[in-house]
Amino acid sequence: MPVIDVRNLHKRYGAKVAVEDVSFAVEEGEIFGVLGPNGAGKTTTVECLAGLRAADRGTVSVLGLDPRRDRAELTRRLGVQLQASRLPDKMKVREAVELYASFYDRPAAPGRLIEELGLADQRDTRFGRLSGGQQQRVSIALALVGDPRIAVLDELTTGLDPQARRDTWRLIEDVRDRGVTIVLVTHFMEEAERLCDRLAIIDAGRVVAIDTPSGLVARVSPEQRVRFRPSAPLDDHLLRDLPEVRTVTRTGGQVVVTGTDGLLQALTSVLARNHIIAADLRVEQSSLDDAFVALTGRTLD
């Protein structure tokens, strides 16, 4: 049974439709991504999940609870990191984590959490004096301090430098490995590709596709493309006879072969058997970026 089940969610602000029609289900223990351009309705969707907003239509169920009706119970089991939510500048890291721990009946140990999040050296630093990455980690700590079964993280790494972003990714994987289900809102392709087990692409308030990152890529172009420069003359038939190969073309001294899964293995073994070395070998694969463009008709940002 999915831990989160969203069906035909619809939400508007006055006349402005923020979420047209969104459905998805999140399985226990996975990192589920919600990917989409600015204004797609990602934040609104997760705010409905967290019970911060009431849906205008559709149903939302989180751990079998109705986020609005069972709000009190939900807050004990769901940790939320809101987009652009800060703390008073003069509050120290340790104070914040201990305060939020006191809000729960069975919280995580604040001291350990601070260490796990790499904030040990900042425990007595005021929030306003932390770097963007450190502030973001405090935010994650507060989302996790109630020892939740599900954590919703909205725009976790926006504004972080690449190193801080990678550190944060590692952290999220650790959290998942502890058995926490994670809903990750992002508009970074690389982040979605690296972290998410499955993801929903949302555009203009609608779900365009839901799949694993590689499934999404395969959907738009199931093809692989290999280029190389053979060290000795090569008969095209040798390649064409392979079941994995679809087309063979030559440009200059280069051979370009397209085909399905397993293309590279098939090619290298037939070349080896014929004592031909493939120089400048390059495998080109469609990326999640290509998939996104194909699915939404535009690039992210």
Partner 1 sequence: MLAKLTYLELKLLAREIIVPAVVLLLPLALLLGFGFQPGANKAQHDLGGQTAPEYMAALGVGIAVTILGLSILPTTLAGYREKGVLRRMATTPVRPAYLLMVQLLIYVAMAIAAVTILIVTARILFGTPVPERFPAFLAAFVLGMGALFGIGLVIAAVAPSSKAGTGIGMLLFFPSLFLGGVYIPREQMPGALRAVGDYTPLGATLKTMRDAWMGSEPRLVQLAIMAAYAPAAGLVAAKTFRWE
Give the binding site for ligand ATP (CB under 6 A).
13, 16, 18, 36, 38-44, 83, 187
* Least distance between partner 1 and beta carbon 66 (Å): 16
Residues 170 and 160: their CA atoms lie apart, in Å, by 14
Contacts of Mg ion in 11-70 (CB under 5 A): 42-43
For partner 1, the closer CB: 157 or 286: 157
- Regarding 54 and contact with partner 1 (CB under 8 A), the answer is no
CB of 9 to ligand ATP, least distance (A): 11
* Near partner 1 in 239-298, by CB under 8 A: none
- Helix, strand, coil fractions of the chain, as percent rounded to 5: 35, 30, 35
Query: Binder to partner 1 among 39, 64, 88, 253 (CB under 8 A)?
Result: 88
The CB-of-220 to ligand ATP minimum distance in angstroms stands at 22
Beta-strand ranges (E) seen in 252-297 are 254-259, 278-284
Tokens of 77: 């089991």
* Choice between 155 and 193, CB closer to ligand ATP: 155
Beta bridge partners of 199: 33, 211
Closest to 206 (Cα-Cα) out of 68, 62, 11:
11
Figure out which of the listed residues 10, 68, 76, 227 binds partner 1, where binding follows CB under 8 A.
76
In the complex with ligand ATP, the residue whose CB is nearer, 158 or 260, is 158
Q: What are the angstrom distances between the C-alpha of 18 and each of 41, 169, 237, 298?
A: 5, 28, 55, 19
Q: Which stretch binds partner 1 (CB under 8 A): 79-87, 186-194, 234-242, 250-258?
A: 79-87
Q: What angle do CA 162, 163, 166 make, to 5 degrees?
A: 85
**228 near partner 1 (CB under 8 A):** no
When binding is defined by CB under 8 A, the residue of 28, 70, 95, 290 that contacts partner 1 is: 95
The DSSP code sequence of 147-181 is --SEEEEESSSTT--HHHHHHHHHHHHHHHHTT-E
Which of 2-10, 15-23, 98-106, 243-251 is the region at the interface with partner 1 (rule: CB under 8 A)? Answer: 98-106
Size of the site for Mg ion (CB under 5 A): 3
Q: Which of partner 1, Mg ion, ligand ATP, none does residue 18 bind (CB under 5 to 8 Å by kind)? A: ligand ATP
**Which residue, 74 or 255, is less far from partner 1 as judged by CB?**
74
Report in angstroms how near the CB of residue 187 gets to Mg ion at its nearest. 8
Q: Any long-range contacts for 252-255 (C-beta under 8 Å, 24+ apart)?
A: 253/229, 254/227, 254/228, 254/229, 254/280, 255/227, 255/228, 255/229, 255/230
